[in-house]
């Protein structure tokens, strides 16, 4: 019958305890079968055969000794071998016991040595169990007995002890395993709850068993992405409100001036501000769509770079292209946008001269955009990938862009499994490299 939804199940420690108990019991059963069949039974047959020979020899020796020496022989027999001899049927309370392999082997050995069936009785005498064998000796019958303690084996007690030990070890192992497993899972649960509330959780320790460490590593990657998205959202909202405030203020001023004195120049100013706002909103939408999926197709990299270089030349930039005949598998629109943004940065800050390189390096393709501008301070090489961050701090559209170009490059590269590297050239200028699989 299927379990109803919402019905609480067994805890991990209970499940582990039951499973481990079953494993321990099965192992104990297999071990008991192996020990009994391969070790205990051969030893029991040999020990029973030796005891049967000692009983028969004791009865024969007692019959052959002079009557005067028999008491001393019985004392030595009791002291050395824990045996006693009786000429008549022993007096005691007959006891029915469970058949044991050892006593069965002893009875069979006695029958074989005596040449006829030998009665083997169990009696309680003075609170102790005794086993008696009726052996033919000297034309009569002698009863040779030994206490049950001489046998020494307690199979039932051994079975109960091993069963209790197995259950105890199962519970102990289940508690230990659950402690090692549940603690990381509790941390995962708490971190997932924080993540579900739209907040960035603390990173989990990437320790413990390999599977849990791998799970923690994946969760930490997700937490970092969520943290980056939250920071990007905050930055985007702050940058958008800041960058829109300037054109809005100019538009408000233009509207007031148009009310007082209509002039085509104010209308042109309004059109320019509307265009600037449209461009800013468009770049924000591009950044928001950066994680969208696009099918990858083989791309003629040399042709694409020549096309993009032509756009730069038309803007008055001196461009040099050196590209090997490469055809990487990539998303065309994303690749075009990434390279376009890198080239646009080189156009703005590259000193009027740009070099484009494309080469194969092992299993990867490296596309470089190298300019001859002032470069970027080392402490800002990573910061320039943040939205609205610009090395030039005036935030004017006349002296720089919106600060979203490299943020779009980084996001598109991450979404497609590419890598972007920035570095200052020793001879001056900035080198931007895009690395993707060939």
* Res 87 pLDDT > 80: yes
Question: Which of 288, 317, 334 is at the close of a domain?
Answer: 288
Q: What is the pLDDT of residues 403-418, one digit of tens each?
A: 677 877 887 888 788 9
Same domain (yes/no): 319, 405 = yes
CATH number, residue 259? 1.10.287
5 pLDDT tier (thresholds 50, 70, 90): very low
Is residue 195 in a domain? no
Same domain (yes/no): 348, 264 = no
Alpha carbons 434 and 369: distance in angstroms, whole number:
9
Mean pLDDT of the residues in the chain? 80
CATH number, residue 408? 3.30.565.10
Same domain (yes/no): 275, 314 = no
Tell me which of 1-15, 38-52, 53-67, 337-351 is least confident. Answer: 1-15
Q: In sequence order, which residues have a C-beta less than 8 Å from that of residue 340 and are 6 or more positions away?
A: 308
**Tokens read off for 412:** 């598109």
- The arithmetic mean of pLDDT across residues 241-269, rounded, is 76
Alpha carbons 221 and 208: distance in angstroms, whole number:
18
Q: What is the pLDDT of residues 22-78, one digit of tens each?
A: 777 788 778 777 777 777 778 778 888 888 899 989 888 988 889 889 899 999 998
Q: What is the pLDDT of residues 92-112, one digit of tens each?
A: 888 877 767 778 888 899 888
Same domain (yes/no): 40, 126 = yes
Show the 3-state SS of 264-285: HHHHHHHHHHHHHHHHHHHHHH
Residue 46 structural domain: 12-158
Same domain (yes/no): 330, 392 = yes
Same domain (yes/no): 134, 220 = no
Same domain (yes/no): 330, 432 = yes
Alpha carbons 407 and 289: distance in angstroms, whole number:
12
> At residue 329, what are phi and psi to the nearest 5 degrees?
-95, 110
pLDDT at site 278: 78
The Cα-based distances of 356 to 240, 300, 405 in angstroms read 32, 15, 18
The total number of structural domains in the chain stands at 3
The DSSP secondary-structure symbol of 291 reads: T
Question: Which of 267, 288, 309 is at the close of a domain?
Answer: 288
Same domain (yes/no): 298, 381 = yes
Q: What is the pLDDT of residues 263-298, one digit of tens each?
A: 788 788 788 878 877 777 776 666 555 545 568 899
Is residue 183 in a domain? no
Same domain (yes/no): 382, 270 = no
Alpha carbons 341 and 420: distance in angstroms, whole number:
12
Residue 262 parent element (H or E): none
Q: In sequence order, which residues have a C-beta less than 8 Å from that of residue 256 and are 6 or more positions away?
A: none
Backbone conformation region of residue 16, classed left if phi is above 0, alpha if psi is from -120 to 50, else beta: alpha
Show the 3-state SS of 197-254: CCCCCCCCCCCCCHHHHHHHHHHHHHHHHHHHHHHHHHHHHHHHHHHHHHHHHHHHHH
pLDDT at site 287: 55
The DSSP secondary-structure symbol of 87 reads: S
Is residue 170 in a domain? no
**Tokens read off for 267:** 């209308």
Higher-confidence position of 306 and 404: 306
> At residue 224, what are phi and psi to the nearest 5 degrees?
-65, -40
């Amino acid at each position: 019958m299927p379990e109803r939804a919402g019905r609480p199940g067994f805890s991990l420690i209970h499940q582990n305890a039951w499973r481990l108990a079953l494993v321990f019991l099965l192992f104990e059963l297999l071990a008991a079968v192996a020990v009994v069949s391969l070790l205990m039974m051969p030893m029991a047959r040999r020990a029973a055969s030796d005891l049967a020979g000692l009983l028969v020899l004791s009865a024969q020796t007692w019959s052959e000794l002079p009557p005067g020496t028999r008491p001393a022989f019985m004392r030595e027999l009791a002291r050395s071998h824990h045996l006693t001899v009786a000429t008549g049927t022993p007096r005691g309370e007959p006891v029915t016991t469970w058949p044991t392999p050892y006593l069965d082997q002893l009875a069979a050995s006695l029958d074989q040595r005596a040449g006829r069936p030998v009665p083997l009785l169990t009696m309680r005498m003075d609170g102790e169990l005794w086993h008696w064998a009726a052996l033919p000796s000297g034309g009569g019958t002698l009863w040779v007995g030994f206490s049950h303690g001489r046998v020494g084996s307690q199979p039932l007690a051994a079975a109960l002890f091993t069963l209790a030990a197995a259950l105890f070890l199962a519970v102990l192992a289940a508690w230990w395993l659950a402690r090692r497993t549940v603690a990381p899972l509790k941390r995962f649960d708490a971190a997932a709850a924080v993540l579900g509330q739209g907040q960035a959780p603390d990173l989990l320790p990437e320790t413990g068993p390999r599977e849990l460490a791998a799970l923690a590593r994946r969760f930490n990657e997700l937490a970092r992405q969520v943290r980056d998205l939250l920071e990007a959202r905050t930055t985007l909202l702050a940058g958008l409100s800041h960058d829109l405030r300037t054109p809005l203020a100019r538009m408000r001023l233009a509207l007031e001036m148009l009310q007082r004195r209509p002039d085509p120049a104010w209308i042109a100013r309004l059109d320019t501000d509307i265009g600037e706002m449209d461009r800013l909103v468009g770049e924000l939408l591009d950044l928001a769509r950066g994680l969208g999926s696009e099918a990858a197709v083989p791309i003629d990299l040399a042709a694409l770079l020549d096309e993009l270089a032509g756009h730069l030349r038309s803007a008055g930039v001196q461009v040099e292209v050196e590209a090997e005949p490469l055809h990487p598998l990539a998303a065309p629109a994303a690749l075009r946008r990434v390279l376009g943004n890198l080239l646009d940065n080189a156009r703005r800050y590259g000193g009027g001269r740009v070099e484009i390189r494309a080469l194969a390096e092992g299993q990867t393709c490296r596309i470089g955009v190298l300019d001859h501008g002032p470069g970027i301070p080392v402490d800002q090489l990573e910061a320039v990938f943040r939205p609205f961050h610009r090395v030039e701090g005036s935030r004017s559209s006349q002296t720089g862009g919106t600060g979203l170009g490299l943020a779009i490059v980084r996001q598109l590269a991450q979404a497609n499994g590419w890598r972007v590297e920035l570095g200052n050239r020793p001879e001056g200028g900035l080198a931007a490299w895009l690395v993707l699989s060939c």
